[in-house]
Amino acid sequence: DVKVTQSSRYLVKRTGEKVFLECVQDMDHENMFWYRQDPGLGLRLIYFSYDVKMKEKGDIPEGYSVSREKKERFSLILESASTNQTSMYLCASITAGVGNNEQFFGPGTRLTVL
């Protein structure tokens, strides 16, 4: 069974803290994605990565950074958490190449910033 796992299901942090959200996939996928999901706004792409050490900005990268040191792991970093970053964060992965855009999603991390 293909699997995308995220380090925490629920996380509570304080304003100004540095926050790390980890995502690991066991499918040897090249491409990985971080989304946030908010009511009324759907899923919005924050960052994505096509390969180790490569990253590209998505639609809402402000306030976030990412790290991809190993193929299976994609980390989302909130350098200084703010209350408007309270959200559900979803990680996804997909194999590279033309053919199928089926994304595999993790269970999500619900982050609350106080």
Are 29 and 100 in contact by the 8 Å Cβ rule? The answer is no
Q: Is 98 in the site for other proteins (CB under 8 A)?
A: yes
Are 106 and 32 in contact by the 8 Å Cβ rule? The answer is no
Q: Is 62 in the site for other proteins (CB under 8 A)?
A: no
Q: Is 105 in the site for other proteins (CB under 8 A)?
A: yes
Which residue in this structure is represented by tokens 């995220």?
Answer: 6
Nearer to other proteins, 12 or 17 (CB): 12
Q: Which stretch binds other proteins (CB under 8 A): 14-22, 63-71, 74-82, 106-114?
A: 106-114
Task: Tell me the CB-side half-sphere exposure of residue 70, using CA atoms within 13 A.
Answer: 8
Minimum CB separation from other proteins for residue 67, in Å? 19
